[in-house]
Amino acid sequence: MGLKESTLKMLGRLNPKILSTIEKSAQSIGPVRKKMDAEFEKITEDMEKSMKPYRERFDTHKCFPEAGRDREEILREMEELRDLERSRWEAGYASGAVYHGDPEFVDFLNRAYSLHSQSNPLHPDLWPSASKFESEIISMTGNMLGGRDQVCGAISSGGTESILLAMKAYRDWAIDKKGITNPEMVAPTTAHAAFDKASQYFNIPLIRVPVDDDFKADVEAMRNAVTKNTAVLIGSAVSFPHGVIDPIPELSEMAQERGIGFHTDACLGGFVLPWAKNLGYDIPDFDFSLPGVTSISVDTHKYGYAPKGSSVILYRNSDLRSYQFFAITEWPGGLYCSPTFAGSRPGGPVAACWAALLAMGEKGYLDATQHILETGERIRIGIEGIEDLHVLGDPLWVIAFGSETLDIYQIMELMTQKGWSLNGLHHPPCVHLCVTLRHTEDGVAEKFLKDLKESVEHVRNHPEEKTGSAPVYGMAATLPFRGVVSDLLKKYLEVLYKT
C-alpha cells in the first residue's frame, strides 16, 4: 500500500518465496508495520460500517437476556430481518446463492425441514428415517451421474466438505495402497478454492496447472505436472469462475492409465449437465460413465434445489470410500464411528434435501434446466452485444465477462449500487453471474442487461472514478505482497464475528 507502481511491477517479477521473505522483513520494520496497521484499521472500520447494517435498528445481544424473551417477539424480530433481506435475492439480484427460491417451494422445504429439526443422523437407532433419506439421496444422485451398483457415497454439509472428504480419502488411499509417502493433488488453476483448503488442512501439496485460452484444463500441462507422488487428478464440470467443463474424458483416462484417482468436481454442474444432455445439448462426458472417474462431488444445495447444508460425495467403490470413514475402538466414550467430519449431524437439511429431490423428479429437473439454459443463452448474447465487454470462454449458464478497455471492477461496483450482487473474479479480471431459477422469472434477465449497459456507459464516460470494492480488487491484482491481501481477508472474517 502506498508503494510506487514501478516498485510494484519490479516486485511482481520476483519469485513468490523471496517476496514472502521480503514481506515478512518489511513488516517487522517499525514504520512499515505502523503504516500498515493504520491502513488496516481504516479499512476495517469501513468494512464494519457496511457489514453491520442492523446496529442502529435492532438491539445487540452481547450477553443472554436476564429472563428469556417473549417467543412471539423473537419471531417477529426474525421475520423483520428476513423481510429486509428476502426481496433482493427473491427478485433475482444475486448470482447463485438461492437456486430455486419460489415461495411455495420454500414453504414446502421448510415444512420438511421442521419435521426433522430434532433428528441427528449420528443416531440411526433413534432416527432410522435419517439413514433412509441419506442412502436414497446418494442412490438417486449416483444414478443421475452414471453410477452403477458399486457407486456409493456420503452426505456432507456442502461442496467444500465433500471435496475435503474426498481429498483426505485419496491421501490415505495413496499412502496405503500405492505406497506414496507424500501424496499430491494436481488441479487446474480454476478448480475451486476448496482444493487449496484441503491442501492446507491435510498437508497434501496441490499442484496448480494453468488453463488454456478457453479457461479449460490444459491436458498436456496436466500430464506434465503428474509425478510419482500424484494421488489424484482433478477437473471441474463446470468450473466456478468461468462455468466451463474441463476435458474430463482425456484427464480421467490419463489418471486411469497411471492407476491413480480422478475427481470430478460437479458441485456446480452435477444437477444441470445430465439434464442438459437429455435436452439435446452437446455435453461432453464427465461422470461415472467414464471408467477413470473415481469420485464426484455434487451439491444438492445448489441445483438440486435443497435448502442450504447438503452435498453428496460419490465414490466408484466402497474401498475408496472407506478411507474417508472414521472409526475408533479404544475411547472410553465407547466404540465410535462417523462417516464425515461432523460428529452430530443436523437431520433437517437431509430431510429437506430428500423432499426436494422427490418433489422435483426428472421432469422438474428437466424443466428447470431448460429455463436456466435458455436464460443463460439470452444473457450471454446480451453481454456480447454490449460494447467494451466480452464473455470469457464458452459458458452455458455461469457467465463470466470482462473488458479490455474499461475497469470491470468499477462496472461491478455500479451494478452493486443498482442492487446486484455479482461475483468479482481475477486472473484475468472479470465478473460473473451464475444464473439460477430466480433469473428465469419475467423481466429479470432484461433488467440485468439494461443495468449492465448503463453501468458500462457510465464507466466509459467517467473512467477516473474508483469506488467501493474496485480499488481493493485493483490492489489485490497488482500487489506483490500476497500476505497483505490475505491478512486483509482475515480481518474481514474478524469483522463478521464482531458484535
Residue 95 is a binding residue for ligand PLP (CB under 6 A): no
Q: Which stretch binds ligand PLP (CB under 6 A): 3-11, 155-163, 288-296, 451-459?
A: 155-163
The rounded distance, in Å, linking the Cα atoms of 463 and 447 is 24
Residue 165 is a binding residue for ligand PLP (CB under 6 A): no
Residue 144 is a binding residue for ligand PLP (CB under 6 A): no
**Interface residue with ligand PLP, options 248, 268, 306, 379 (CB under 6 A):** 268
Residue 287 is a binding residue for ligand PLP (CB under 6 A): no
Q: CB of 312: closest distance to ligand PLP in angstroms? A: 11
Site string for ligand PLP, 208-247 (x = CB under 6 A): ----------------------------x---x-------
The rounded distance, in Å, linking the Cα atoms of 138 and 288 is 14
Residue 488 is a binding residue for ligand PLP (CB under 6 A): no
Give, in order, the Cα–Cα distances in Å from 33 to each of 23, 377, 387. Answer: 10, 49, 44
Residue 313 is a binding residue for ligand PLP (CB under 6 A): no
Q: CB of 275: closest distance to ligand PLP in angstroms? A: 17
Q: Which residue's Cβ has the minimum distance to ligand PLP? A: 159
Burial string for 77-107 (b: 16+ CB within 10 Å, else e) reads eeeeeeeeeeeeebebbbbbbbbbbeeebee
Report which of 177, 267, 243 is spatially closest to residue 376, judged by C-alpha positions: 243
The rounded distance, in Å, linking the Cα atoms of 156 and 299 is 9
Amino acid at 285: D
Residue 300 is a binding residue for ligand PLP (CB under 6 A): no
Q: Which stretch binds ligand PLP (CB under 6 A): 122-130, 157-165, 323-331, 437-445?
A: 157-165
The rounded distance, in Å, linking the Cα atoms of 438 and 99 is 7
The rounded distance, in Å, linking the Cα atoms of 156 and 165 is 9
Q: At which residue does the C-alpha cell 486472473 appear?
A: 427
* Cell numbers at 298, concatenated: 455434487
Q: CB of 303: closest distance to ligand PLP in angstroms? A: 10
- Of 267 and 415, CB closest to ligand PLP: 267
Residue 192 is a binding residue for ligand PLP (CB under 6 A): yes
**Interface residue with ligand PLP, options 120, 160, 340, 423 (CB under 6 A):** 160
Q: CB of 477: closest distance to ligand PLP in angstroms? A: 21
The 3-state DSSP composition of the chain as helix, strand, coil percent (nearest 5) reads 50, 10, 40
Q: Which stretch binds ligand PLP (CB under 6 A): 214-222, 262-270, 279-287, 320-328?
A: 262-270
The rounded distance, in Å, linking the Cα atoms of 221 and 263 is 17
* Cell numbers at 340, concatenated: 464425515
The rounded distance, in Å, linking the Cα atoms of 88 and 419 is 7
Q: Can you list the positions of beta strands (E) in 237-308? A: 261-265, 295-298
Dihedral sign for Cα atoms in the order 67, 72, 78, 84: negative
* Cell numbers at 164, concatenated: 475435503
SS3 state of residue 263: strand
The rounded distance, in Å, linking the Cα atoms of 360 and 348 is 18
Q: CB of 192: closest distance to ligand PLP in angstroms? A: 4
Residue 194 is a binding residue for ligand PLP (CB under 6 A): yes
- Of 23 and 265, CB closest to ligand PLP: 265
Q: Which stretch binds ligand PLP (CB under 6 A): 8-16, 265-273, 367-375, 452-460?
A: 265-273
- Of 178 and 242, CB closest to ligand PLP: 242
Q: CB of 149: closest distance to ligand PLP in angstroms? A: 27
Query: How far is C-alpha 358 from the geometric centre of its chain's CA atoms?
Result: 25
Q: Which stretch binds ligand PLP (CB under 6 A): 152-160, 381-389, 406-414, 439-447?
A: 152-160
Report which of 208, 181, 195, 188 is spatially closest to residue 16, judged by C-alpha positions: 208
Q: Count of residues binding ligand PLP (CB under 6 A)? A: 11
- Of 240 and 323, CB closest to ligand PLP: 240
- Of 194 and 355, CB closest to ligand PLP: 194
- Of 199 and 236, CB closest to ligand PLP: 236
The rounded distance, in Å, linking the Cα atoms of 368 and 349 is 21
Residue 303 is a binding residue for ligand PLP (CB under 6 A): no
Q: CB of 240: closest distance to ligand PLP in angstroms? A: 4
Residue 267 is a binding residue for ligand PLP (CB under 6 A): yes
Helix/strand number for the chain, H first, E second: 17, 13
Report which of 304, 286, 284 is spatially closest to residue 295, judged by C-alpha positions: 286
- Of 8 and 206, CB closest to ligand PLP: 206
What does the binding site for ligand PLP look like in residue numbers (CB under 6 A)? 158-160, 192, 194, 236, 240, 265, 267-268, 299
